[in-house]
Amino acid sequence: MIYEVFRQERKGQPFAHAGSVTAPDERFAEIYAREQYGRRQESTALWLVPRRALREIDEFPDEFDLKYRRVDGYSIKARLKEARAAAENAGRLRGAVSAGEKST
Amino acid sequence: MDSRTQEFLEYVQSGGQVETGDWLPDEYRSRLIKFIEMHGNSELMGVLPERDWILRAPTLQRKLALTAKIQDEVGHAQLIYRVVEDLGKPRAACLDDLVSGKAKFHNVFHYPTKTWGDVGVIAWLVDAAAIVSQKALLKCSYAPYARIMKKICWEESFHILHGRDVILAMVTGTQEQFELVQEALDRWWEPLMHFHGNLIPADEDPMYVWRIKSQANEDARQQFLDGYVPQIRELGLEVPDPALRKDEATDRWVYTEPDWERLRAVVTGHGPASQDRIDFRRRSREHVEWVERLLLAEAA
Protein backbone atom coordinates (compact mmCIF):
# COMPACT_ATOMS: atom_id res chain seq x y z
CA MET A 1 0.00 0.00 0.00
CA ILE A 2 1.10 3.53 -0.68
CA TYR A 3 0.98 6.08 2.10
CA GLU A 4 1.39 9.77 1.40
CA VAL A 5 3.52 11.62 3.95
CA PHE A 6 2.90 15.22 4.95
CA ARG A 7 5.35 16.90 7.23
CA GLN A 8 5.23 19.96 9.44
CA GLU A 9 8.57 21.69 9.73
CA ARG A 10 7.78 23.88 12.75
CA LYS A 11 4.74 24.46 14.93
CA GLY A 12 2.36 26.83 13.21
CA GLN A 13 3.45 25.87 9.71
CA PRO A 14 1.19 24.00 7.33
CA PHE A 15 1.64 20.29 6.71
CA ALA A 16 3.27 19.99 3.29
CA HIS A 17 3.41 16.95 1.08
CA ALA A 18 6.85 15.38 1.41
CA GLY A 19 6.60 12.17 -0.60
CA SER A 20 5.27 8.66 -0.18
CA VAL A 21 6.26 5.29 1.24
CA THR A 22 5.14 1.78 0.30
CA ALA A 23 4.35 -0.40 3.28
CA PRO A 24 2.31 -3.56 3.90
CA ASP A 25 0.35 -1.90 6.74
CA GLU A 26 0.06 1.13 9.03
CA ARG A 27 2.66 -0.15 11.48
CA PHE A 28 5.35 -0.38 8.83
CA ALA A 29 4.24 2.87 7.23
CA GLU A 30 4.89 4.63 10.55
CA ILE A 31 8.31 3.02 10.93
CA TYR A 32 9.34 3.92 7.39
CA ALA A 33 7.97 7.46 7.61
CA ARG A 34 9.83 8.06 10.89
CA GLU A 35 13.05 6.89 9.25
CA GLN A 36 12.62 8.82 6.03
CA TYR A 37 11.25 12.07 7.41
CA GLY A 38 12.19 12.22 11.03
CA ARG A 39 15.56 10.73 11.76
CA ARG A 40 17.24 14.12 11.91
CA GLN A 41 14.54 15.76 14.02
CA GLU A 42 13.71 17.73 10.88
CA SER A 43 9.93 17.58 11.39
CA THR A 44 7.74 18.44 14.37
CA ALA A 45 4.95 16.23 13.06
CA LEU A 46 3.98 13.91 10.22
CA TRP A 47 0.61 12.99 8.76
CA LEU A 48 0.34 9.57 7.13
CA VAL A 49 -2.56 9.04 4.78
CA PRO A 50 -3.25 5.94 2.66
CA ARG A 51 -3.23 7.15 -0.93
CA ARG A 52 -6.69 5.69 -1.55
CA ALA A 53 -8.08 7.94 1.19
CA LEU A 54 -6.99 11.05 -0.68
CA ARG A 55 -9.40 12.58 -3.12
CA GLU A 56 -8.06 15.13 -5.51
CA ILE A 57 -10.16 17.90 -7.02
CA ASP A 58 -8.49 19.77 -9.85
CA GLU A 59 -11.20 21.39 -11.92
CA PHE A 60 -12.97 24.54 -10.91
CA PRO A 61 -15.35 25.65 -13.68
CA ASP A 62 -16.34 29.32 -13.64
CA GLU A 63 -19.19 29.36 -16.18
CA PHE A 64 -20.69 32.59 -14.89
CA ASP A 65 -17.39 34.42 -14.58
CA LEU A 66 -17.98 35.22 -10.92
CA LYS A 67 -15.66 38.21 -10.85
CA TYR A 68 -17.55 39.93 -8.08
CA ARG A 69 -16.06 37.35 -5.70
CA ARG A 70 -12.52 38.36 -6.48
CA VAL A 71 -10.32 41.43 -6.11
CA ASP A 72 -9.78 41.59 -9.88
CA GLY A 73 -13.53 41.97 -10.36
CA TYR A 74 -13.49 45.54 -9.10
CA SER A 75 -11.80 48.51 -10.68
CA ILE A 76 -11.93 51.33 -8.23
CA LYS A 77 -9.51 53.85 -9.76
CA ALA A 78 -11.75 55.65 -12.25
CA ARG A 79 -14.72 55.81 -9.88
CA LEU A 80 -12.58 57.07 -7.01
CA LYS A 81 -11.21 59.89 -9.17
CA GLU A 82 -14.76 60.84 -10.10
CA ALA A 83 -15.92 60.74 -6.48
CA ARG A 84 -13.10 62.96 -5.25
CA ALA A 85 -13.75 65.50 -7.98
CA ALA A 86 -17.49 65.47 -7.17
CA ALA A 87 -16.79 66.02 -3.45
CA GLU A 88 -14.53 68.94 -4.21
CA ASN A 89 -16.97 70.53 -6.63
CA ALA A 90 -19.83 70.22 -4.18
CA GLY A 91 -17.75 71.85 -1.49
CA ARG A 92 -18.08 68.82 0.74
CA LEU A 93 -14.42 68.60 1.58
CA ARG A 94 -13.60 69.78 5.08
CA GLY A 95 -10.07 70.06 6.46
CA ALA A 96 -6.85 69.53 4.51
CA VAL A 97 -7.91 66.62 2.28
CA SER A 98 -8.60 67.68 -1.30
CA ALA A 99 -9.01 65.90 -4.64
CA GLY A 100 -5.28 66.24 -5.22
CA GLU A 101 -4.25 64.58 -1.96
CA LYS A 102 -4.49 60.90 -1.42
CA SER A 103 -5.99 59.29 1.62
CA THR A 104 -4.25 56.16 2.91
CA MET B 1 5.00 15.72 -33.46
CA ASP B 2 1.24 16.05 -32.92
CA SER B 3 -0.19 19.31 -31.67
CA ARG B 4 -0.96 18.09 -28.15
CA THR B 5 2.66 16.98 -27.71
CA GLN B 6 3.88 20.25 -29.23
CA GLU B 7 1.76 22.21 -26.74
CA PHE B 8 3.15 20.12 -23.90
CA LEU B 9 6.70 20.75 -25.09
CA GLU B 10 6.13 24.51 -25.22
CA TYR B 11 4.57 24.39 -21.77
CA VAL B 12 7.55 22.66 -20.14
CA GLN B 13 10.03 24.77 -22.09
CA SER B 14 8.50 27.92 -20.65
CA GLY B 15 8.94 26.62 -17.11
CA GLY B 16 5.70 24.70 -16.70
CA GLN B 17 5.60 21.68 -14.40
CA VAL B 18 3.41 18.58 -14.56
CA GLU B 19 2.06 16.14 -11.99
CA THR B 20 1.60 12.36 -12.04
CA GLY B 21 -2.04 12.43 -13.13
CA ASP B 22 -1.49 14.85 -16.04
CA TRP B 23 -1.38 13.68 -19.64
CA LEU B 24 2.28 13.00 -20.53
CA PRO B 25 3.57 12.31 -24.06
CA ASP B 26 4.88 8.76 -24.38
CA GLU B 27 8.37 9.92 -25.24
CA TYR B 28 8.46 12.22 -22.22
CA ARG B 29 7.23 9.48 -19.90
CA SER B 30 9.72 6.88 -21.11
CA ARG B 31 12.69 9.28 -20.99
CA LEU B 32 11.63 10.41 -17.55
CA ILE B 33 11.41 6.85 -16.26
CA LYS B 34 14.83 6.00 -17.67
CA PHE B 35 16.44 9.10 -16.17
CA ILE B 36 14.86 8.83 -12.74
CA GLU B 37 15.43 5.07 -12.60
CA MET B 38 19.12 5.59 -13.32
CA HIS B 39 19.26 8.04 -10.44
CA GLY B 40 17.61 5.51 -8.10
CA ASN B 41 20.00 2.80 -9.24
CA SER B 42 22.95 5.13 -8.64
CA GLU B 43 21.87 5.89 -5.06
CA LEU B 44 21.55 2.17 -4.37
CA MET B 45 24.85 1.23 -6.03
CA GLY B 46 26.57 4.26 -4.51
CA VAL B 47 26.44 2.74 -1.05
CA LEU B 48 28.60 -0.20 -2.07
CA PRO B 49 31.96 1.57 -2.32
CA GLU B 50 31.37 3.08 1.11
CA ARG B 51 29.87 0.02 2.74
CA ASP B 52 33.24 -1.68 2.30
CA TRP B 53 34.76 0.82 4.72
CA ILE B 54 32.40 0.78 7.69
CA LEU B 55 34.38 -1.90 9.49
CA ARG B 56 37.70 -0.35 8.46
CA ALA B 57 36.97 3.31 9.23
CA PRO B 58 39.69 4.79 11.44
CA THR B 59 37.46 6.11 14.25
CA LEU B 60 34.05 5.35 15.76
CA GLN B 61 32.79 8.78 14.69
CA ARG B 62 33.73 8.03 11.07
CA LYS B 63 32.00 4.65 11.25
CA LEU B 64 28.81 6.29 12.49
CA ALA B 65 29.00 9.10 9.93
CA LEU B 66 29.58 6.62 7.10
CA THR B 67 26.70 4.44 8.28
CA ALA B 68 24.40 7.49 8.44
CA LYS B 69 25.47 8.54 4.94
CA ILE B 70 24.72 5.06 3.61
CA GLN B 71 21.32 5.08 5.29
CA ASP B 72 20.58 8.42 3.60
CA GLU B 73 21.55 7.05 0.18
CA VAL B 74 19.34 3.99 0.53
CA GLY B 75 16.52 6.25 1.68
CA HIS B 76 17.02 8.36 -1.42
CA ALA B 77 16.85 5.26 -3.58
CA GLN B 78 13.52 4.35 -1.97
CA LEU B 79 12.11 7.84 -2.51
CA ILE B 80 13.24 7.80 -6.11
CA TYR B 81 11.90 4.31 -6.93
CA ARG B 82 8.59 5.44 -5.43
CA VAL B 83 8.49 8.23 -8.03
CA VAL B 84 9.31 5.74 -10.82
CA GLU B 85 6.51 3.44 -9.64
CA ASP B 86 3.99 6.26 -9.88
CA LEU B 87 5.14 6.74 -13.49
CA GLY B 88 4.30 3.12 -14.25
CA LYS B 89 7.39 0.97 -13.70
CA PRO B 90 7.29 -1.24 -10.60
CA ARG B 91 10.25 -1.29 -8.26
CA ALA B 92 10.79 -5.02 -8.84
CA ALA B 93 11.22 -4.37 -12.57
CA CYS B 94 13.79 -1.64 -11.84
CA LEU B 95 15.77 -4.01 -9.62
CA ASP B 96 15.49 -6.82 -12.19
CA ASP B 97 16.97 -4.52 -14.83
CA LEU B 98 19.68 -3.35 -12.47
CA VAL B 99 20.95 -6.82 -11.58
CA SER B 100 20.70 -8.06 -15.16
CA GLY B 101 22.91 -5.18 -16.28
CA LYS B 102 20.18 -3.82 -18.53
CA ALA B 103 19.75 -0.57 -16.61
CA LYS B 104 22.56 1.87 -15.95
CA PHE B 105 23.98 3.68 -12.96
CA HIS B 106 26.49 6.50 -12.71
CA ASN B 107 30.07 5.86 -13.83
CA VAL B 108 31.62 6.73 -10.45
CA PHE B 109 30.08 3.69 -8.80
CA HIS B 110 31.82 1.30 -11.18
CA TYR B 111 35.19 1.90 -9.54
CA PRO B 112 36.73 0.23 -6.46
CA THR B 113 37.84 2.07 -3.34
CA LYS B 114 41.45 1.26 -2.58
CA THR B 115 42.18 3.37 0.51
CA TRP B 116 40.55 5.56 3.15
CA GLY B 117 41.68 8.46 0.96
CA ASP B 118 39.18 7.24 -1.65
CA VAL B 119 36.37 7.39 0.91
CA GLY B 120 37.16 11.03 1.64
CA VAL B 121 37.50 11.97 -2.03
CA ILE B 122 34.17 10.30 -2.88
CA ALA B 123 32.22 11.96 -0.07
CA TRP B 124 33.78 15.34 -0.84
CA LEU B 125 34.17 15.55 -4.61
CA VAL B 126 31.85 12.90 -6.07
CA ASP B 127 29.01 14.10 -3.86
CA ALA B 128 29.87 17.68 -4.84
CA ALA B 129 29.67 16.80 -8.53
CA ALA B 130 26.33 15.11 -7.85
CA ILE B 131 24.93 18.07 -5.97
CA VAL B 132 25.64 20.38 -8.92
CA SER B 133 23.40 18.17 -11.06
CA GLN B 134 20.86 17.70 -8.31
CA LYS B 135 20.43 21.43 -7.72
CA ALA B 136 19.59 21.78 -11.41
CA LEU B 137 16.98 19.02 -11.01
CA LEU B 138 15.09 21.14 -8.46
CA LYS B 139 13.58 22.76 -11.55
CA CYS B 140 12.64 19.51 -13.28
CA SER B 141 9.46 19.75 -15.33
CA TYR B 142 8.13 16.68 -13.52
CA ALA B 143 7.08 18.10 -10.17
CA PRO B 144 7.02 14.96 -7.97
CA TYR B 145 10.68 14.39 -8.80
CA ALA B 146 11.58 18.08 -8.30
CA ARG B 147 9.97 17.92 -4.86
CA ILE B 148 11.93 14.92 -3.59
CA MET B 149 15.10 16.55 -4.88
CA LYS B 150 14.73 19.15 -2.12
CA LYS B 151 15.12 16.52 0.59
CA ILE B 152 17.91 14.81 -1.30
CA CYS B 153 19.90 18.05 -1.80
CA TRP B 154 19.47 18.92 1.86
CA GLU B 155 20.89 15.57 2.97
CA GLU B 156 23.69 15.57 0.39
CA SER B 157 25.01 18.77 1.94
CA PHE B 158 25.89 16.86 5.14
CA HIS B 159 27.66 14.24 3.06
CA ILE B 160 29.93 16.82 1.48
CA LEU B 161 30.82 18.27 4.87
CA HIS B 162 31.63 14.79 6.17
CA GLY B 163 33.83 14.19 3.13
CA ARG B 164 35.59 17.48 3.48
CA ASP B 165 36.18 16.81 7.17
CA VAL B 166 37.78 13.45 6.37
CA ILE B 167 40.07 15.11 3.80
CA LEU B 168 41.00 18.00 6.10
CA ALA B 169 41.94 15.56 8.86
CA MET B 170 44.22 13.70 6.47
CA VAL B 171 45.90 16.70 4.85
CA THR B 172 46.77 18.10 8.27
CA GLY B 173 48.10 14.75 9.45
CA THR B 174 51.19 12.86 8.40
CA GLN B 175 52.93 12.99 5.04
CA GLU B 176 51.65 9.46 4.42
CA GLN B 177 48.05 10.58 5.02
CA PHE B 178 48.49 13.52 2.64
CA GLU B 179 49.87 11.20 -0.02
CA LEU B 180 46.88 8.85 0.39
CA VAL B 181 44.57 11.75 -0.49
CA GLN B 182 46.67 12.89 -3.47
CA GLU B 183 46.89 9.35 -4.79
CA ALA B 184 43.14 8.90 -4.46
CA LEU B 185 42.55 12.20 -6.27
CA ASP B 186 44.87 11.06 -9.07
CA ARG B 187 42.71 7.96 -9.61
CA TRP B 188 39.33 9.64 -9.19
CA TRP B 189 39.94 12.64 -11.44
CA GLU B 190 38.99 10.86 -14.68
CA PRO B 191 35.67 9.49 -13.30
CA LEU B 192 34.94 12.97 -11.91
CA MET B 193 35.52 14.59 -15.29
CA HIS B 194 33.29 11.94 -16.89
CA PHE B 195 30.55 12.34 -14.31
CA HIS B 196 28.48 15.13 -15.86
CA GLY B 197 28.37 13.41 -19.22
CA ASN B 198 29.62 14.22 -22.69
CA LEU B 199 29.70 17.57 -24.47
CA ILE B 200 26.27 17.31 -26.11
CA PRO B 201 24.87 20.83 -26.52
CA ALA B 202 21.75 21.52 -24.45
CA ASP B 203 19.41 21.90 -27.41
CA GLU B 204 20.44 18.48 -28.76
CA ASP B 205 20.09 16.78 -25.40
CA PRO B 206 16.56 15.30 -25.13
CA MET B 207 16.75 15.52 -21.35
CA TYR B 208 17.17 19.28 -21.62
CA VAL B 209 14.68 19.67 -24.47
CA TRP B 210 11.95 18.18 -22.25
CA ARG B 211 13.29 20.15 -19.27
CA ILE B 212 13.92 17.00 -17.28
CA LYS B 213 17.42 18.39 -16.87
CA SER B 214 17.58 22.16 -16.71
CA GLN B 215 21.26 22.48 -17.46
CA ALA B 216 23.68 21.36 -20.18
CA ASN B 217 26.27 18.74 -19.18
CA GLU B 218 29.17 21.09 -19.78
CA ASP B 219 27.61 23.87 -17.69
CA ALA B 220 27.35 21.47 -14.77
CA ARG B 221 30.99 20.47 -15.20
CA GLN B 222 32.09 24.12 -15.32
CA GLN B 223 30.13 24.82 -12.16
CA PHE B 224 31.81 21.90 -10.43
CA LEU B 225 35.26 23.09 -11.48
CA ASP B 226 34.49 26.66 -10.40
CA GLY B 227 33.49 25.50 -6.96
CA TYR B 228 35.99 22.75 -6.28
CA VAL B 229 39.30 23.33 -8.08
CA PRO B 230 40.07 26.23 -5.71
CA GLN B 231 39.10 24.04 -2.73
CA ILE B 232 41.42 21.28 -3.95
CA ARG B 233 44.34 23.61 -4.63
CA GLU B 234 44.14 25.54 -1.36
CA LEU B 235 45.00 22.32 0.47
CA GLY B 236 48.18 21.92 -1.53
CA LEU B 237 46.71 19.07 -3.57
CA GLU B 238 47.37 18.85 -7.28
CA VAL B 239 44.75 18.20 -9.92
CA PRO B 240 46.30 15.51 -12.16
CA ASP B 241 45.59 17.39 -15.40
CA PRO B 242 48.40 19.76 -16.40
CA ALA B 243 46.12 21.36 -19.00
CA LEU B 244 43.52 22.43 -16.46
CA ARG B 245 43.21 26.20 -16.20
CA LYS B 246 40.59 28.92 -16.34
CA ASP B 247 40.69 30.82 -19.61
CA GLU B 248 40.39 34.53 -18.85
CA ALA B 249 38.89 35.48 -22.19
CA THR B 250 35.99 33.01 -22.09
CA ASP B 251 35.77 32.69 -18.28
CA ARG B 252 35.53 28.93 -18.77
CA TRP B 253 37.75 26.10 -17.60
CA VAL B 254 39.94 24.47 -20.19
CA TYR B 255 41.06 20.87 -19.61
CA THR B 256 42.24 17.67 -21.28
CA GLU B 257 39.13 16.25 -22.89
CA PRO B 258 38.14 12.98 -21.20
CA ASP B 259 37.88 9.78 -23.23
CA TRP B 260 34.16 9.48 -23.92
CA GLU B 261 34.47 5.94 -25.27
CA ARG B 262 35.88 4.93 -21.91
CA LEU B 263 32.84 6.46 -20.19
CA ARG B 264 30.52 4.49 -22.45
CA ALA B 265 32.41 1.27 -21.69
CA VAL B 266 32.23 1.89 -17.95
CA VAL B 267 28.50 2.63 -17.77
CA THR B 268 27.68 -0.40 -19.92
CA GLY B 269 29.19 -2.62 -17.25
CA HIS B 270 32.86 -2.74 -18.20
CA GLY B 271 34.22 -0.67 -15.34
CA PRO B 272 36.78 -2.15 -12.92
CA ALA B 273 34.16 -2.95 -10.28
CA SER B 274 30.97 -3.11 -12.37
CA GLN B 275 30.45 -6.85 -12.34
CA ASP B 276 31.38 -7.23 -8.66
CA ARG B 277 28.87 -4.59 -7.65
CA ILE B 278 26.07 -5.95 -9.84
CA ASP B 279 26.73 -9.47 -8.55
CA PHE B 280 26.60 -8.23 -4.98
CA ARG B 281 23.24 -6.57 -5.59
CA ARG B 282 21.85 -9.69 -7.18
CA ARG B 283 22.99 -11.90 -4.30
CA SER B 284 21.68 -9.60 -1.57
CA ARG B 285 18.38 -9.40 -3.35
CA GLU B 286 18.17 -13.20 -3.40
CA HIS B 287 19.06 -13.34 0.31
CA VAL B 288 16.27 -10.97 1.40
CA GLU B 289 13.63 -12.26 -0.97
CA TRP B 290 12.04 -14.35 1.80
CA VAL B 291 11.55 -11.24 3.96
CA GLU B 292 9.69 -9.44 1.20
CA ARG B 293 7.54 -12.48 0.52
CA LEU B 294 6.69 -12.81 4.19
CA LEU B 295 5.75 -9.15 4.62
CA LEU B 296 3.57 -9.11 1.54
CA ALA B 297 1.87 -12.35 2.60
CA GLU B 298 1.19 -10.94 6.06
CA ALA B 299 -0.29 -7.81 4.60
CA ALA B 300 -2.56 -9.68 2.23
Structural domains in chain A, CATH included, are 2-53 (3.10.20.520)
Beta carbons within 8 Å of B151's beta carbon, 6+ residues apart: A18, A19, B79
For residues B150 and B138, the answer to whether their CB atoms sit within 8 Å is: yes
ipTM of the shown complex:
0.76
B140-192: pLDDT as tens digits: 999 999 999 988 999 898 899 999 999 999 999 999 999 999 999 999 999 99
Buried b (16+ CB within 10 A) or exposed e, B103-132: bbbbbbbbbebebbbbbbbbbbbbbbbbbb
pLDDT at A39: 87
Residues of A in contact with B78 (CB under 8 A): 21, 36
A97 touches chain B (CB under 8 A): no
Verify whether the Cβ–Cβ distance B295 to A28 is below 8 Å.
yes
Average pLDDT, chain B: 94
Residues 220-279 of B with CB under 8 A from A: none
Residue type, B277: R
Gap from B296 CA to chain A (nearest CA, Å): 6
Please report which confidence band the pLDDT of residue B60 belongs to, taking 50, 70 and 90 as the band edges.
very high
Report the pLDDT value the prediction gives residue A104, as an integer from 0 to 100: 54
Domain coordinates in residue numbering, chain B: 12-299
Interface A-B: count of C-beta contacts within 8 A: 32
The tens digit of pLDDT for each residue in B99-145 reads 999 999 999 999 999 999 999 999 999 999 999 999 999 999 999 99
Furthest C-alpha separation in chain A: 78
Q: Between the CA of residue A72 and those of A64, A65, A67, B266, what are the distances in Å? A: 15, 11, 7, 58
The rounded distance, in Å, linking the Cα atoms of B30 and B12 is: 16
3-state SS, residue B246: strand
Taking residue A74's Cβ as centre, other Cβ atoms within 10 Å add up to 10
Q: Closest approach of chain B CAs to the CA of A28, in angstroms? A: 10
Architecture in CATH of B12-299 = Up-down Bundle (1.20)
For residues B237 and B183, is the Cβ–Cβ distance under 8 A?
Answer: no
pLDDT at A102 over 70: no
pTM above 0.80, yes or no: yes
Helix (H) or strand (E) holding B117: helix B116-121
